[in-house]
Amino acid sequence: MKAARLHGVKDIRVETAPDPTPDADQILLATRAVTVCGSDLHYYLEGAIGSDRPNEPHILGHEFAAEVMEDGPLPKGTLVAVDPNRACGACEWCAEGHPNLCPNVKFSGVPPYHGALAEYVVARPEEIVAVPESFTPTDAAMLEPLGVALHALDLAHLRPLDSVGVVGCGPIGLLVLQVAGASGAGLRVVVDPIPERRELALRLGAEHAFASVDEAKDALGPRGVDVVIEATDAQRGPEDAAKLTRIGGKLVLVGIPEGNRFSMDAALVRRKGLTIKMARRMGHVYPRAIELVERKLVTFEPLVTHRFSLDESPRAFELQASRADGVIKSSVEL
Ligand SMILES: [Zn+2]
Ligand SMILES: [Zn+2]
């Protein structure tokens, strides 16, 4: 089959790769859309995330939609979203209902497991979710980052009218912003250095958009906001987000920092008595993610700014990494 494979830093080649062979409990699916994630960009720009480093040409892509190829539990031609998180189902954390924390997980696109930037993928029936007919393949792929945004707010235990700050207005931040609105948030404030991203955030429900946390604090006063979600790829992102959080407030860290490190001023977070949570992927959130879109509480339309063919995958990554041309999310459509 044709696949886009990462050979090294900034080196993606579209070439022939072996077809995936389904295990007895898996079915073969035809890929229809793959959206490029910030986590994919770490592999693209740095070659690794922490200890996860591919040793051979690697197929990225974990936000994807596919089509059922043979009649089975779902009829042939059904468009499905695929949960990339294949948890073991047997460990202590799976048993507790936290498959996102499973240490034995086989996650699509995380080496050594190939992702979806290819003509075919395999999945177990319980990992696939049929989507409403109104969904495009890219809509279905976007359910994965929407699920990440939902899980981040689940961790925050948002109360009605809590003020919410979003630091980083990439796709995840802009989805968090929308889900916070749907969840009864009060004042919504965003911080991002890119003007187009701030403008889009204002269109999607933010009341204020600032280029930096210092600017936000100057304008809003010293109190800060109740709940802050950090969704940057910057090492300073978590500390910035902590500065924006009120005394006794909650901070959820979703972003993956460049170089796999971040640091925070200890006195800042200690004196405020912050509750800090690390978001790790998501749990079983697809049904709510689908309903958010069906009820038009979340829109993907302004977020998916660029579309590419599988052959153009290298350009999709180049553009997404450059943040040029107003890009928010690139989708590779097959
Ligand atoms: Zn992702
Ligand atoms: Zn497990």
What tens digit of pLDDT does each residue of 271-327 get? 999 999 999 999 889 999 999 999 999 999 999 999 999 999 999 999 999 999 999
Mean pLDDT of 225-231: 98
Ligand nearest to the CA of 320: 1
Per-residue pLDDT, 293:
98
Kindly state whether residue 270 falls inside one of the protein's structural domains. yes
The CA 79 to ligand 2 mean position distance, Å, reads 27
Nearest Cα neighbor of 30 from 101, 82, 105, 103 is 82
The CA 61 to ligand 1 mean position distance, Å, reads 8
The 10s digit of each residue's pLDDT in 190-216 is 999 999 999 999 999 999 999 999 999
The CA 128 to ligand 2 mean position distance, Å, reads 18
- Residues 193 and 243 occupy one common structural domain: yes
Domain that holds residue 203: 147-278
The CA 53 to ligand 2 mean position distance, Å, reads 22
Ligand nearest to the CA of 146: 1
- Residues 151 and 267 occupy one common structural domain: yes
- Residues 114 and 178 occupy one common structural domain: no
Nearest Cα neighbor of 100 from 74, 62, 132, 131 is 62
Per-residue pLDDT, 263:
92
The CA 172 to ligand 2 mean position distance, Å, reads 25
Kindly state whether residue 242 falls inside one of the protein's structural domains. yes
Ligand nearest to the CA of 64: 1
- Residues 190 and 308 occupy one common structural domain: no
Ligand nearest to the CA of 93: 2
CATH number, position 205: 3.40.50.720
- Residues 112 and 186 occupy one common structural domain: no
Kindly state whether residue 298 falls inside one of the protein's structural domains. no
The CA 34 to ligand 1 mean position distance, Å, reads 10
- Residues 78 and 178 occupy one common structural domain: no
- Residues 109 and 177 occupy one common structural domain: no
CATH number, position 10: 3.90.180.10
Question: What's the rounded Cα separation, in Å, for the pair 202 and 15?
Answer: 41
pLDDT band at 43 (very low <50, low <70, confident <90, very high): very high
pLDDT band at 51 (very low <50, low <70, confident <90, very high): confident
The rounded percent of the chain whose pLDDT value lies above 90 is 93
CA 214 remoteness from chain centre: 26
Instruction: Please give the tally of structural domains in the chain.
Output: 2
Question: What's the rounded Cα separation, in Å, for the pair 298 and 182?
Answer: 8
- Residues 163 and 54 occupy one common structural domain: no
Kindly state whether residue 272 falls inside one of the protein's structural domains. yes
Say yes or no to pLDDT of 73 above 90: no
- Residues 153 and 214 occupy one common structural domain: yes
Give one DSSP letter per residue of 224-248, joined into a string. Answer: -EEEEEE--SSTTHHHHHHHHEEEE
Ligand nearest to the CA of 97: 2
Which three-class secondary structure string do you get for 174-198? HHHHHHHHHCCCCCEEEECCCHHHH
Nearest Cα neighbor of 17 from 119, 113, 122, 123 is 119
Amino acid at the residue 104: N
Ligand nearest to the CA of 102: 2
Ligand nearest to the CA of 148: 1
The CA 48 to ligand 2 mean position distance, Å, reads 23
Mean pLDDT of 72-76: 91
Per-residue pLDDT, 283:
83
Kindly state whether residue 293 falls inside one of the protein's structural domains. no
- Residues 36 and 156 occupy one common structural domain: no
Per-residue pLDDT, 55:
87
Mean pLDDT of 35-43: 92
Ligand nearest to the CA of 95: 2
- Residues 105 and 35 occupy one common structural domain: yes
Kindly state whether residue 136 falls inside one of the protein's structural domains. no
Say yes or no to pLDDT of 50 above 90: no
Mean pLDDT of 248-273: 95
Kindly state whether residue 295 falls inside one of the protein's structural domains. no
The 10s digit of each residue's pLDDT in 162-185 is 999 999 999 999 999 999 999 999
Per-residue pLDDT, 202:
98
Dihedral over Cα of 181, 151, 290, 301: its sign = positive
The CA 91 to ligand 2 mean position distance, Å, reads 4
Kindly state whether residue 135 falls inside one of the protein's structural domains. no
The CA 145 to ligand 1 mean position distance, Å, reads 6
153 membership: H or E segment, kind and range: helix 137-156
- Residues 153 and 111 occupy one common structural domain: no
Per-residue pLDDT, 206:
98
The CA 148 to ligand 2 mean position distance, Å, reads 19
